[in-house]
Amino acid sequence: MSLVGALPFLKPRLSPSVSPGRQRRHTLPASEFRPLNTQDAISVFEIEKEAFISVSGDCPLHLDEVRHFLMLCPELSMGWFEEGRLVAFIIGSQWDQDRLTLDALTLHKPKGSTVHIHVLAVHRTFRQQGKGPILMWRYLQYLRCLPYVRRAVLMCEDFLVPFYQKSGFKVQGRCSITVASLTFTEMQYPVRGHALMRRNSEAIGFSQTSVLLLEEPIQRSETALLLEEQTQRTEPEPADV
């Protein structure tokens, strides 16, 4: 047997002073939140396609558009990974007008103070677990750490309005954008960040300071959201969240 072939069967030699329980284990984190990149694009699109096509007949972002935004503004995306597997995500871009127009679907405006949330989707295996509200809460708290962001906007079908209202979004009225026969409601969330967060944040990625500042309140909010989810289990939940 070659050395390479024998490697899986070799037992590690332990030092007498080191107990097996204290050996370092190289394992993936149980739960991780991070910005997405172009290497995540296929996984993103597979989740999005399954979530939206059966409900709306189309996806908010096609694969080339997912890659487009993850290349231009990866810091405005957030993926939730469990043991290395993508289970939920949000993709956003910057916008520079008061209301959304057709250009907002494809353009990233780096000088804008608005974040347009294009899509939030959860893998079908992980739905009905409250992951959608938790991910949105984390994302909105992260936006508070970005000095240039003043608000977040999105457009959604009418049946999703109550879901986003629970996350703090307010209805702005009918959206001027239509896709085939679909019409949308435009919603807005004011981003009011703390000065300390904004001073110590970096505009790229999730800065260490931001994570430390947000870690404890996020954990408390996640618990509250999960409890709320359990008490409202009888209410219908959108397929994609």
| Cβ atoms of residues 182 and 158 within 8 Å | no
Which residue among 77, 93, 201, 207 is the active-site one?
93
Concerning whether 118 is annotated as a catalytic residue, the answer is yes
Q: Which of 164, 201, 207, 214 is catalytic?
A: 164
Catalytic (active site) residue 214? no
d(CA 21, CA 60): 48
Q: What backbone torsions phi and psi does residue 154 show, to the nearest 5 degrees?
A: -155, 165
Q: Can you tell me the distance from the alpha carbon of 178 to that of 113, in angstroms, rounded to the nearest whole number?
A: 24
The upper half-sphere exposure of residue 232, i.e. CA atoms within 13 Å in the direction of its Cβ, equals 16
Q: Which residue out of 120, 160, 213, 225 is catalytically annotated?
A: 120
Q: Is 139 a catalytic residue?
A: no
DSSP calls for 192-211: ---HHHHHH--SSS--HHHH
Q: Which of 107, 113, 176, 226 is catalytic?
A: 107
| Residue of 68, 108, 116, 118 marked active site | 118
Cα–Cα distance measured from residue 1 to residue 161, given in angstroms and rounded to the nearest whole number: 63
107 is catalytic: yes
State both tokens at 93. Answer: 């871009």
Residues 6+ apart with CB under 8 A from 62: 45
Q: Which residues are catalytic?
A: 93, 107, 118, 120, 164
